[in-house]
A and B are shown apart, each in its own frame.
Chain A
């Protein structure tokens, strides 16, 4: 049993939502801010759905890991965190990149393996990165980026820089040894790191409660003296407010902070997934807790958004994604004569 219930957010699914206006005022968000956040969530959803369609059309050479259903974690986080924060992403990372402001054309081009992509077609969906904006990339190894973030945090501390690290991983990564090594080091040296465990309930097909001896995962932070929260990651406002608190803690020099955001992915693990390990009912149940539907409903109720405006936003998001596909498809493939570029040893 949990002994720190104050760390568990009270507004889980089924709980009455607090008044949106009061919440926005407390969080310092304007109606325009919220509409922008909503718009970003729609862009992510459209990007992921387009990726799935492109794959079905046989236009994608490699694999992909789609984050539809997890949009509130990405958007709530990146509204609260400065855009130039150093960033280590997991491999289901399209949403975080879009929420962070990455160029969708370059993302789509990388996804399609084009020379105009973020990594000139060398990385693909699993390794999108943009070093110039401190985006140190998605990682194909579960938990592989966690300790890189510790190194960045150490560098920031040694350089007396004010920036911070957003170090994101999934529920599966929490059972890797390096998770523990990294949390220990970060806490030991009070490093400016926001650890986010995006718990979408499955490590490939392994349900989190079958893989993790004690839940929530976030309470493991307690063992390292790191303050933590376990929240409903499909509640955009809650994610935003929690990340705001986390950032304030980190930027006041008190060291790392750990947030576990509970969410769900609608698509399979990757292109090979036939969804044999979960039921249609379960997926439908989570779709009733859809993060986009929830915030849209609240915004409309609060008079910030209309059904018509929401529809326009979604259509514009689709057009944006379609134009990124056009950009990517019209881009050249990498020239095989450049195969060995960036190979130094």
Chain B
């Protein structure tokens, strides 16, 4: 199986879907000649032309609104927010319009749209270009939220997102763009709403998404040498959330740690913990249900401060050891 980067996998999904379906077009700021701020759409303008790669003014509210309108009129737009932080400028259109019309109009409307958005810290982009806002999106009925952690998942999930009849928020992580993984040449897709067990283990379940998945996997390998076997589950889709896979895992391990970069208070880890706590897995618990999240603060600029604001490998390791030892 050939290797490609996470960014290349996303581009491959866009290219294949644009070749397959004339209704699919890209929409956003600097996505043409520049290739997007992170180069994800690089080359697609030359390949498909200006009618398929539509560059916009810096108007995020209208980008989200026009994406919704184009979807209502039979297109399959894939918009890009240059940074996830900028979706806040389009939240009215996303939450009040795109997320609502199908239900509000009695099921007759369909909004097949995708908004891609790079999230997360680690690039020194500071407080307004480093947020992980997926927990805000997860709270909204009417939008699906997907956050892949590998090139394989990114490609397969983006294909499903583009084919989905409803709005899908596709959360990418800046630090993952250059990570490599195997991606098959033949066509495939990954259903939205299905978690993936990235590593089997019997002692503790880690639920992590996006960049926290590779970090958790590194820690899991390290702990394995000390006889602690960690099961790592990537929900891949945060809404809808595959609770069942998580609950089954916790029944087996009796311990849960949820890891995400988004700020702790109101973060989606709380939702995972609530679902497990109110499930039959409760009877199998050997330790309190724990979470490790980004600190409740803006992302700082300084490299060391930035690092300290979100979970790193050493933090994950410390937390896992604490849960397994029942010492907090």
Q: Residues on A close to B: CB < 8 A?
A: 86, 88, 117-123, 127, 129-132, 136-137, 139-141, 144-156, 158-159, 177-178, 181-182, 184-185, 188, 341-345
Contact = CB atoms under 8 A, between A and B. Distances in A.
Interface in B36-66: 51, 54, 56-57, 59, 61-62, 64-66
10 contacts: A119-B106, A123-B106, A131-B105, A140-B96, A144-B92, A146-B65, A147-B69, A154-B66, A155-B73, A344-B142
A21 B56 CA distance: 47
B241 to A, nearest CB: 10
Contacts of A130: 108
B104 A345 contact: no
Contacts of A341: 107
A146 B73 CA distance: 14
Given A129-B108, A150-B69, A152-B73, A343 B103 contact: yes
A134 to B, nearest CB: 8
Most buried by A among B59, B92, B165, B239: B59
Taking chain B's interface residues, is the majority helix, strand, or loop, or is none over half, making it mixed?
mixed
Nearest to B110: A131
B30 to A, nearest CB: 15
Interface of B: 25, 51, 54, 56-57, 59, 61-62, 64-75, 77, 92-93, 96-97, 101-109, 141-144, 165-166, 239-240
B66 A178 contact: no
Nearest to B138: A345
A342 B99 CA distance: 11
Nearest to B168: A345
Contact of B93 (A123, A136, A147): A147
Given A118-B106, A122-B106, A150-B69, A155 B62 contact: no
Given A132-B108, A155-B75, A184-B57, A141 B92 contact: yes
Contacts of B141: 343, 345
Contacts, number: 149
Nearest 8 CB-CB pairings of A with B: A151-B69, A147-B65, A151-B66, A181-B62, A119-B106, A155-B73, A148-B69, A342-B107
A141 B61 contact: no
Contact of A150 (B65, B96, B239): B65
Nearest to A179: B62
A86 B62 contact: no
A193 to B, nearest CB: 10
Nearest to A146: B65
Contacts of A147: 61-62, 64-66, 68-69, 93
B62 A182 contact: yes
A184 B56 CA distance: 10
Nearest to A163: B73
B17 to A, nearest CB: 16
A147 B239 CA distance: 26
Contact of A151 (B59, B65, B107): B65
Contacts of A184: 57, 59, 62
A280 to B, nearest CB: 36
Nearest to A150: B66
Nearest to A124: B104
